[in-house]
Amino acid sequence: MPPLRRTSARAVAATRVIRERKDPLEDEARFLRSWFERPLVTGAVTPSGRMLARTMAAYADPNVAGPVIELGPGTGPVTEALIRRGFDQDRLVLVEFNPDFCTLLRRRFPGVTVICGDAYRIRDTLGDRLGSLSAATISSLPLFTKPLEQRLELLQGAHDLMRPGAPFVQFTYAVVPPIPAKCEAGSYTASRSNRVWLNLPPARVWVYRRPEPQGAAAL
């Protein structure tokens, strides 16, 4: 796993106001209510914990040009971790299906782009809004609620929008990968983090990359 970068003074300043107006209990109540209403859409009953969010954000490199796509941001714990990581808010493009969460995210992170739409139709949902190839995609979607074919289509669609070698980052509570780790066609590689025991429930992060074409480094 990439090292967790020390929080910069700029990132601290950017998140200070966010931290002051957040209420973890309110966020958990929002998630629980959303889960009861639409369990297959929300997938989790609580937001990602801080350590899990930091682990996911650690795979995105602020020095790589391009926007960062976040799928299923919910109430924004991973969004905040990305800002702490050093990403300017205007580089973050959030795709959220729940309109209540979209409203909350726009209020909590006024500099980010929030798109209320279907992340599983990532090409249609984002269209030409990125402007350039993405540096990373960070996903908190409940992938196991979808058939494997749809999960693979999501991964392929995300990779089509990203730079070669850019990471598609996905967490899971399960002991098996959300997308198979072995790819017979060779269209992606997979690696995993250690289990994040401090999250409730414990989770693991999987990272999928599309291999760069041979000879690309020499161009």
- pLDDT reported for residue 185: 79
Give dist(CA 177, CA 217) in Å, integer.
Answer: 30
pLDDT > 70? residue 6: no
Peptide bond just before 201 cis, omega within 30 deg: yes
Residue 131, sorted as left (phi over 0), alpha (psi -120 to 50) or beta, turns out to be left
What values do phi and psi take at 138, rounded to 5? -115, 120
pLDDT in tens, 199-214: 888 999 999 999 887 6
CA angle 115, 117, 120 (to 5 degrees): 120
Per-residue pLDDT at 48: 65
Asked whether the beta carbons of 202 and 173 are under 8 A apart, the reply is yes
Q: Is 118 exposed, middle or buried (0-12, 13-18, 19+ CB in 10 A)?
A: exposed
pTM above 0.95? no
State the burial class of residue 90 (Cβ atoms within 10 Å of its Cβ: 0-12, 13-18, 19+). Answer: exposed
27-31, 186-190, 196-200 — most confident range: 186-190
pLDDT tens across 61-110, in order? 999 999 999 999 999 999 999 999 999 999 999 999 999 999 999 999 99
Reply yes or no on whether the pLDDT at 217 is more than 60: no
Q: What is the pLDDT of residues 108-151, one digit of tens each?
A: 999 999 999 999 999 999 988 899 999 999 999 999 999 999 99
Q: If pLDDT is split at 50, 70 and 90, which confidence band does 172 have?
A: very high
Burial state string for 159-174 with b = 16 or more CB within 10 A and e = fewer than 16: bebbbeebbbbbbbbe
